[in-house]
Chains A and B, each alone.
Chain A
Amino acid sequence: MLDQSLLNQSRAGLSEIEAQYIASSLLQICPPVSPGQTNLDVTKLLNEHPDLISIAVVEDNKPIGLITRNIFMEGLAKPFHHDLFDRKSCIAFMDKDPLVVEQNMSIQTLSFKVLGSGRKTLNDGFIITDENGDYLGLGNGEDLVRVVSFLQAEKNRLVTESINYASIIQKSFLRSSREDMSAVLQDYFMHWEPRDKVGGDYYFCKKFDDGFFLALIDCTGHGVPGAFMTLIMASFLDHILVEDNRHDPADALAIMNKKVKMALGQINESAAEGFDVDRFSAKQNGQSDDGMDTAFCWVNTQNSTLTYAGAKTPVFYIGNASSEVQLLDPDRKGVGYIDTPMNYEWTNQQLPLTKGMCIYLTTDGIIDQIGGLKKIAFGKKRFSTLLQEHYLKPMPEQESIVMQTYYDYQGKQKRRDDVCLMGFRF
């Protein structure tokens, strides 16, 4: 169930906020002067309003210049200037080319204009007019910075809230898998850690009378687009397992491949693969090319067999008989992508399970993460060695060890991808 109260807390949309704040939000009503007035008049006005930074000069309601307190005072302070200028028109010390903006201008456009017109506008302010170009008042740089910061914070808040809520949805989609997993497994861990709160990594577990189906999925992309993909994949997979054959992971992958390709229109029409084919044309780039890498496992609990089919995602296992970590290697085609043929067939591999055997699934988020002194990928070897050393420990403890090692390895490097890792003891 969606928590409506959370949705209600969300306020206006991004575009609404932008529309709310325009140049007129910065408007300060300031008395202007006319060219007919003298510098003495301006001096009086400045003395009467000590907080005025600038005064606009307006003729027939149209602004023609801007007098700035500092420049004006400095100008008059020179020897004999009072005598020379006091009775002359105030245009003597005015800036004839100040920034003039219309009151409906967006804050963003205004910011660029202010920055573009140099330091003087930030310091001295700018003139705001109505739609006809008639003088309304002044705006200043300090207020502009304040509003821009506020808008930035407000947009961040909206985007963050939106992603936080998306994360709640994605987690609630994972709930039935979590429940089924805890029903069919005793000693296990499931570590799901999207890079950006939501992501393209996903897991799936469904319990049946004769066993359970387990999948670890890495959809293209991360963040919100990745999360969209996981929801599509999860609903397809759910249908396939109920309506088709859950005992045949390779076939499930093939059906999935067709469904994704059809749903997203990812069909390679240009069968010609010649050297002259323009494969980097802009036209082809408008098309999506999304899919998933995944490991599909059917675990038959009656005859203790794991049937696996993989799309670029291996299974790591370590048995009782030998304490070497071994791999079931995946097929190298991803599911649904344009370059995966519509009728592509994946292969099933059988793994007899013995009591105590440990099975691990991971997306490439851990294996490919850059880190360490050499700034190279974590790698399968390091991962396997780690499992080898610790596989006898309870699974949750192994989770902490693997993840801690991984975090330490990542160090100050940026997280490159979503992370999804699971392990269970049969």
Chain B
Amino acid sequence: MTDIYIPATSDTPEINFKFSNNTLSMSGEAYPENGVEFFRPILRQLQSHLKSLSGDTVEFNFQLTYFNSVSTKIFYSMFELLNEYAKAHPNCVLLNWHHDEEDDTILELGQDIQEDFTWIDFNAIVLA
């Protein structure tokens, strides 16, 4: 699977999915007018990549400051995917949730994710 790199725009995040070493990173903001169109091809690749793995550890770095409700839904299905992988391969998904120490909004969203996707190892990281 080839790695994906998409630079950030004002309303889409930077996507840096290094499938080659199972490090997936996303940062910036997400509120594109048609979020589904933007994320669909990326998530399809993520899905087929995860299917091809058997117990490799996947690290996900999530560092967004804003995402709209459509993007939230998309991220939920993405985390669901990772959660299912982690269910089949326990302790194999680490989610690093980067947030500013004053950003209670993003932290709270992270806590929701942590609560909903129990197979994923959740790690909140305060941005320096």
Contact = CB atoms under 8 A, between A and B. Distances in A.
Interface stretch (A122-130, A141-149, A377-385): A377-385
Interface in B12-56: 29, 31, 36-37, 40, 43-44, 47, 50-51
**Contact-residue bracket for chain A:** 20 to 34
Contacts of A282: 40
B81 interface: yes
A257 to B, nearest CB: 16
A374 B31 CA distance: 19
A204 to B, nearest CB: 20
A220 B102 contact: no
Interface in B59-75: 65-66, 68-70, 73
A47 B76 CA distance: 73
Contacts of B70: 220
A337 B73 contact: yes
Contact of A285 (B40, B76, B81, B103): B40
A380 B105 contact: yes
Contacts of B104: 377, 379-381
A379 B103 contact: yes
A417 B71 CA distance: 13
Contacts of A279: 47, 77, 81
Given A367-B105, A368-B105, A376-B102, A416 B68 contact: yes
A278 to B, nearest CB: 8
Interface residues of B, number: 32
Given A332-B112, A380-B104, A289 B73 contact: yes
A276, A368, A417 interface centre (most CB from chain B within 10 Å): A368
Classify the interface of chain A: helix, strand, loop or mixed: loop
B4 interface: no
B36 A293 contact: no
A276 B51 contact: yes
A370 B40 contact: no
A370 B10 CA distance: 12
Contact of A376 (B10, B80, B106, B112): B106
Contacts of B40: 280, 282, 285
Given A275-B84, A337-B73, A416-B31, A377 B103 contact: yes
Contacts of B77: 279-280
Contact of A417 (B10, B68, B112): B68
A293 B68 CA distance: 13
A376 B88 contact: no
A375 interface: yes
Contacts of B88: 275
B3 interface: no
B102 A339 contact: no
B85 interface: yes
A282 B43 CA distance: 12
Interface of B: 10, 29, 31, 36-37, 40, 43-44, 47, 50-51, 65-66, 68-70, 73, 76-77, 80-81, 84-85, 88, 100, 102-106, 108, 112
